[in-house]
Amino acid sequence: MLAVTEAAAEAISALTAQEGVAGNGGLRFAVRTADDSQAALALSVAPEPSEGDQVVTSQDGAQVFLEPQAAEFLSDKVLDVEQDAEGQLSFAVLERS
């Protein structure tokens, strides 16, 4: 199952509050097929999980919703946040160590 770091949980909580979906809302991963038939992870803020989504809840209550294909792909990964040179935060999916 996807692991969520404390930093990622804080970022998810801040995002859901900013989007007005705090409480039941969360970050949702889904697999999308691009024009070149390459599969890619799509990330969005969702007010609630979609039917069939796996729900991962961090220790502080932040939620991540995983559509079935995304759940399979992310089952052995860790969700974290990283800061770039300009100070912008972005989510990062890392291998579990």
pLDDT digits (tens, 9 = 90+) for 50-84: 999 999 999 989 999 999 999 999 999 999 999 88
What is the model's pLDDT at position 23?
Answer: 85
Please indicate whether residue 57 or residue 85 has the higher confidence score (pLDDT): 57
Tokens standing for residue 52: 């069939």
Domain that holds residue 36: 3-95
Domain count, the chain: 1
User: Could you tell me the CATH number of the domain that includes residue 27?
Assistant: 2.60.300.12
- Distance (Å) of CA 8 to CA 30, 38, 39, 52, 54: 18, 26, 24, 23, 18
Percent of the chain as helix, strand, coil, to the nearest 5: 20, 40, 40
Q: Which of 73, 75, 78 is nearest to 91 (CA)?
A: 78
pLDDT of residue 33: 81
Q: Which of 51, 41, 45, 52 is nearest to 74 (CA)?
A: 41
